[in-house]
Every structure is written in C-alpha cells, then in structure tokens.
Amino acid sequence: MKPSLEDMQVFLAVVEARSFTLAADRLERTKSAVSQAVTRLESDIGTRLLYRSTRSLSLTEAGSEFYAHCREIKDIYNSAIAGLRNSGDKLAGSLSVTAPHALCEPVIIPAIIKLAEQHPQLRIRLLANDSPMDLIESQVDLAIRVGSLALQSAKVSKLGLLGESLYASPQLIEKLCGIPSDLTELQNWPHIANDWQGMPLKYELKSGIQVKATPKVRCNSLHDIVQLTEAGIGIARLPDIIARKKVANGTLCPITSVAAAPIHYMHLFSKRPPTKVQTFIKAIKSELQTCSKN
C-alpha cells in the first residue's frame, strides 16, 4: 500500500519530538495510536525507519532520508495554506467590477484611479453595464447596482442613495413656455428615456406626484441621453451627480427632483469578501460622500 500523508506527518512529529510520548501530546493522540501510525508507515514502505528502545529512538539511514522528504512536504503544505489565506488580504492580482454608466464617471473611475495609484500590483477590470449580469458567468467580483433589485442569491448591501431629477435644456424650457406649476403637465413634454426605465415612463417625484409619459426617444447610453437632452430633444431623468456640471455650464436646467434610488453592492463570497474587494467598496463609499458634499 502507498503510505498515507497523515502517517508521514505522525512520523515527522515523532522524529522532531524525539519521543512517541511528546509527539502524542503535540498531536493530541494516544501514544498507542502514534506508535501504530509509524509501524503502519514502515509496513507500507517496506523498510524500517526508526530504531526504538525503551529509552531512546534514532533514525535509520532510510529513515533519515525519508524524514527530509516528509519535512519538505509539510513545508510545501504550510506554504500553500498560508498563501491561500493571505491571498485575499493582499491588494494584488485581479479585481473585476461592474457598475451602471451613471456611477462610472463620478464615482467608480475616481475610486479606480486612487486604488491603481496606491496599489500598483492590483489589476482592475471595469464592466460598465446598466443591465443585470450573471456574476459567475462574467467572472465579476463586485457588482454595483442602482434601484430596486430582484431576488438575489448574491450577498447584497446598501451603499447609499443616488439623487435624480428631471432635466431639460434652457431652450426647450423656453420653447414650452417655462416649467409648469402643475407638474403633472410634464407628461405632455417630449421625453428621453433609458431602456431600463420601461414603458410607459413612470416618475415618482419627491412631492409625491406621479408622472407617466411615452418617450419620444429611447436610448441605452447615458452619455447619449445627456447629449440629446442638452440638444433640446426632450426632458430626461438624470443622476444629479452627472447633471451638476451641465447645470453649472448652463446647458441643462433642473425641473424637479425624483425620488432617490438606492445604491447596492453585490458579491458571491460566502463570508467576508477579500480585502481588495472591501477596500474598493470603501473607496466607492468615500467617492459617494464626496459627490454628496459638492
């Protein structure tokens, strides 16, 4: 029979303790069980490894050579286990993240820049996508999502809130004779919508008013929606952190606030995610706080 790795480690413990009794104590086994393991090992190998007496033990020539191999195997084993345990604590290797376009420019990209500068051994992969993704199939470590979520097998935690408002160009507002005092009249304005917003469009305003509309233009790119809105094609629901610069430049005007949408992060790790994932989550939270202050 082939010698078992467990018996080899018992033999190693006996040699290093220079005693069956001490080895048994260290292994938390009986002296009889330790002795049987060494005897079984010698039988499986077909050669004597130890000279035993009531007062001492010593290695045979074969035992001395075999001990060196057992020591090497144990060192490799310990190194492999330590490597696995520590790999999740190192900010190195690869980190794959998916996030909606609305958060990429103001939040995700700044977080990536900081981590890339602070941890040059970390390789980051960003998948900008507004649609749900299969985290396993896409090999994604961390998913950032906005809005309500369907039932998930992934671990989900809340990151914060994304403020959103309806925006339009100054030209469109002037053309339609200004912002109406009765916000339900916004349903008669031309609307630009993202594909994920559904049909018909439904806006729940902070005031509690609900607005329904049929979009004039639908688009799956936030960047394109912003451009179309600036061009005066219609009114659009945009994240405040995206539209803020446009408002400052005078190309967009806020019409009214929409109820804030929750921001979540998701992962498939059974316990706590690796340190690199936790660090990225903290970086995102920091960027969100910065955006909320500006």
Residues 142 and 279 in one domain: yes
Q: What is the pLDDT of residues 256-278, one digit of tens each?
A: 988 788 999 988 887 788 888 99
Residues 111 and 148 in one domain: yes
Residues 70 and 111 in one domain: no
Give the pTM. Answer: 0.62
More confident residue, 207 or 41: 41
Confidence at residue 129, expressed as pLDDT on a 0 to 100 scale:
86
State how many domains the chain has: 3
Residues 41 and 61 in one domain: yes
Choose among 172, 152, 148: nearest CA to 162. Answer: 148
pLDDT-based confidence at 83, cuts 50/70/90? low
**pLDDT reading at 65 higher than 80:** yes
Residues 117 and 251 in one domain: no
Residue 152: give its domain's CATH number.
Answer: 3.40.190.10
Confidence at residue 38, expressed as pLDDT on a 0 to 100 scale:
92
Residues 103 and 238 in one domain: no
Question: What is the 3-state secondary structure of 105-149?
Answer: HHHHHHHHHHHHHHCCCEEEEEEECCCCCCCCCCCCCEEEEECCC
Residues 251 and 282 in one domain: no
Of 36, 70, 87, at which residue does a domain stop? 87
Beta carbons of 147 and 266 less than 8 angstroms apart: no
Residues 176 and 214 in one domain: yes
Of 64, 87, 110, at which residue does a domain stop? 87
Mean pLDDT (whole number) for 172-190? 90
> What does the block give as tokens for 284?
């995102």
Of 30, 65, 87, at which residue does a domain stop? 87
Residue 37: give its domain's CATH number.
Answer: 1.10.10.10
Confidence at residue 53, expressed as pLDDT on a 0 to 100 scale:
78
Domain range enclosing 20: 5-87
Residues 196 and 69 in one domain: no
